[in-house]
Amino acid sequence: MDTEVIQRFIESVGKKADVELYLKLFRGQRKESFAIITADAQILKTALDPLHFDLRILTGLGLVPVVLIGLTDAKEANDNARRVFEWLHEDQVPARIIEATADLSIENIAEVRATIGLQQIPIVSLQAARGDSTEARFSVLTKLSTALETRKVVFLSTSAGLERQGSPRIDVVNLNTDYDHLLTSPALPRRHQQVLRRTKALLDAVPHRMTVTVVNPLHLLRDLFTVSGAGTLVRKGSRIETHKHLDTLDRPRLEGLIESAFGRKLRTGALEQPWERIYVEENYRGAALLVNSPVGVYLSKFAVERQAQGEGIGGDIWNVMVRDYSRFFWRGRPDNPIDPWYNRKCDGMVRLLDWHVYWYGIDPPELPGIIDYAVSQPIDLET
Instruction: Of 46, 90, 48, give the one whose Cα is nearest residue 67.
Output: 48
Between these two residues, 329 and 24, which has the higher pLDDT value? Answer: 329
Between these two residues, 49 and 15, which has the higher pLDDT value? Answer: 49
Positive/negative CA dihedral, 359, 361, 362, 364: positive
Name the CATH architecture for the domain at 240-376: 3-Layer(aba) Sandwich (3.40)
Q: Which residue spans of the chain are classified as CATH 3.40.630.30?
A: 240-376
Buried b (16+ CB within 10 A) or exposed e, 133-153: eeeebbbbbbbbbbbbebbbb
Q: How many CA atoms lie within 13 A of 37 on its CB side?
A: 29
pLDDT tens-digit map of 146-170: 999 999 999 999 998 998 887 888 8
Coil, strand or helix at 40: coil
Q: Which residue spans of the chain are classified as CATH 3.40.1160.10?
A: 3-235
Which of the listed CATH numbers 3.30.420.40, 2.140.10.10, 3.40.1160.10, 3.40.50.970 matches domain 3-235? 3.40.1160.10
Taking a C-beta distance cutoff of 8 angstroms, is the pair 302, 270 a contact? no
pLDDT tens-digit map of 78-135: 999 999 999 999 888 999 999 998 889 899 999 999 999 999 999 999 999 888 888 9
The predicted pLDDT at position 239 comes to 84
The predicted pLDDT at position 82 comes to 94
Instruction: Label residue 215 by pLDDT band (50, 70, 90).
Output: very high
- Bridge partners (DSSP) of residue 214 are 155, 232
State the Cα–Cα distance between residues 339 and 134, nearest whole angstrom.
43
State the Cα–Cα distance between residues 79 and 89, nearest whole angstrom.
15
Among 7-21, 234-248, 330-344, 358-372, which is the least confidently predicted range?
Answer: 7-21
The predicted pLDDT at position 139 comes to 93
User: Looking at the predicted structure, is the pLDDT value of residue 5 above 70?
Assistant: no
Say what angle helices 190-205 and 175-183 make with each other, to 10 degrees: 150
Which helix (H) or strand (E) is 155 found in, with range? Answer: strand 152-156
pLDDT tens-digit map of 199-210: 999 999 999 889
**Parallel, antiparallel or unpaired: strands 356-360 and 277-281:** unpaired
The predicted pLDDT at position 362 comes to 95
The predicted pLDDT at position 7 comes to 62
